[in-house]
Chains A and B, each alone.
Chain A
């Protein structure tokens, strides 16, 4: 005799006078009068009434199911009100577990003791347990509500599962919509061939009347458990609570988009400007001095031709100004907020902005300073500066930590949402790695001499076809003025050739975003 025989199942009712199944699909439910209306109408038909006992059995089942449903709702409601936890008691495979036994808390134990009579195993269930284990005293120690089923588990491991009919099941598959009592003694201590025979016999002997009576007592039993249920125990409420906490965390984590609109740009007043290129140079030696755009223009007024030399001498390709940092930071914040919306509460993480070819790290440093000043936290936006150090190693000093990584590896390792690349070295298109992995957007700053034609897609003018960035699923978006399609939101940009009077437009530094479709 195998263990499989230690499972018995008893089913009842829902068969009509000629053994046909009452199919209520076309008549049932969801009418305002009541969800069982369709069933009752079917039962009122003469052919159904000619089997009155069957009608009475069905009415009995319906009531039990209703009662179970109310009990279950009440238990769930009670559980959801509590914060107490006993998580180690729960079987992960079930939604709601209610343990009658093993209550640790003293006050709860007292509650159980006081009402111990209510917890006595129902007589029909007791009879089943006694039949299976004539020489052993066994009681139900745990109740689990699983969907439309109640699973009772005894101390010795006998499982008795009662499945109730539902309107939903009746609509879906009337053949499977029956009241079922399943006894599983496979996990019972001391299970033997005799056990299996007893279970089989029990199934053979049982009838609809006995099943209804057993069902009634089990549902009553669960209702009584509700009455004594201490304020406790629900993995479901725990999960719900955790979800609420996570959602609250997410709400706290989301960037307040009004920052971008409401925080005015703080510009240094003219009285604090450097007066000469030499003074400006001196101030900028700290690497942390961020001049106003007007300040730079004023310093070089009448000495415009010296600006190139100034940049060359100080190894500046892009001279970052207050206005530029303010406007690009605000753009990055609004984009970060957009990318945040794609992240659900279970995967909260900072939006990662990676700068490649960061040199001394000034761009990352200034943007980070600006973001923190605007109230963006590091759990919202994270900035990382990287450089392959091929040209800047000799310069040594950086204003923030700059990690030694080339663009390809940096993107691979850090999985950024946004990549910044200021002044890509001319001649070589280093943009392909920026379109890989997690990158949603990369922003190029500099003149169009940076990279090569493929970087900007201008190669298609002579070669035809479509730009590489489009092939990779990215669209181009001009951010700084100077292009008809520009968003015109990044200002104050000063490339190394930009102050010189009469500078050709091609020498103008600009900011262009490539955004994943």
Chain B
């Protein structure tokens, strides 16, 4: 069963490719290569977590995917950020300040 996130990501990629083909921004061959790459990179049984890990590298080879990747990446980062804040708040309430501090640093450096 394909996840909702994967479904919408694929749909956006498909729409992007068709738009670019329509406006002659890319060639049929290029669209084909991107499609084949997406099919291969994103198996149908991918979990959201796996998708989140793959997503940042999706536009490495095909810059055309950058805009979609960025949007989805931001969503993931925002979600991670919210999770982190919630987790950090819990730690702070438990007076585990060092642990909360390290977690925030990890997030900060990873983001950079």
Contact = CB atoms under 8 A, between A and B. Distances in A.
Interface of A: 33-34, 36, 40, 43-44, 49-50, 52-53, 55-57, 59-64, 66-67, 209, 212-213, 216
Contacts of B24: 33
Contacts of A57: 35, 39
Interface string B91-110: 00000000000000000000
| Most B CB within 10 A of own CB, among A36, A49, A59 | A59
A60 B11 contact: no
A352 to B, nearest CB: 58
B88 interface: no
Nearest to B12: A52
B36 to A, nearest CB: 4
Interface stretch (B25-33, B52-60, B70-78, B79-87): B25-33
Contacts of A66: 28-29, 32
Say whether chain A's binding surface is mostly helix, strand, loop, or mixed.
helix
Nearest to A44: B18
B40 interface: yes
B49 interface: no
B7 A209 contact: no
A212 B36 contact: yes
Contacts of A36: 21, 28
Given A44-B18, A60-B36, A52 B28 contact: no
Given A40-B18, A53-B44, A56-B13, A63 B33 contact: yes
Nearest to B10: A52
Given A49-B14, A52-B7, A209 B39 contact: yes
Given A63-B31, A209-B39, A49 B22 contact: no
Contact of B14 (A43, A61, A213): A43
Given A56-B36, A60-B36, A212-B36, 19 more contacts: A34-B28, A40-B18, A43-B14, A43-B18, A44-B15, A44-B18, A53-B44, A55-B35, A56-B10, A56-B14, A56-B38, A60-B35, A60-B39, A61-B32, A62-B28, A62-B31, A62-B32, A63-B32, A67-B32
8 contacts: A36-B28, A53-B39, A55-B18, A56-B13, A56-B39, A57-B35, A60-B35, A209-B39
Contacts, number: 75
A67 B33 CA distance: 11
A59 B17 contact: yes
Contacts of A209: 39-40
Contacts of B32: 59-64, 66-67
Contacts of A43: 14, 18
A55 B36 CA distance: 11
A36 B38 CA distance: 21
Q: Which 3 A-B pairs have the closest CB atoms?
A: A63-B32, A52-B10, A56-B35
Contact of A59 (B7, B11, B35, B44): B35
| Most B CB within 10 A of own CB, among A49, A56, A216 | A56
B13 A216 contact: no
Given A40-B21, A209-B39, A49 B33 contact: no
A50 B36 CA distance: 18
Contacts of B36: 56, 60, 63, 212-213, 216
Contacts of A55: 14, 18, 35
Contacts of A64: 32
Contacts of A61: 32
A212 B22 contact: no
Contacts of B14: 43, 49, 52, 55-56, 59
Nearest to A57: B39
B39 to A, nearest CB: 5
Nearest to A48: B14
Contact of B40 (A40, A59, A63, A213): A213
Contacts of A52: 7, 10-11, 13-14
A463 B3 CA distance: 98
A62 B40 CA distance: 17
A61 B39 CA distance: 12
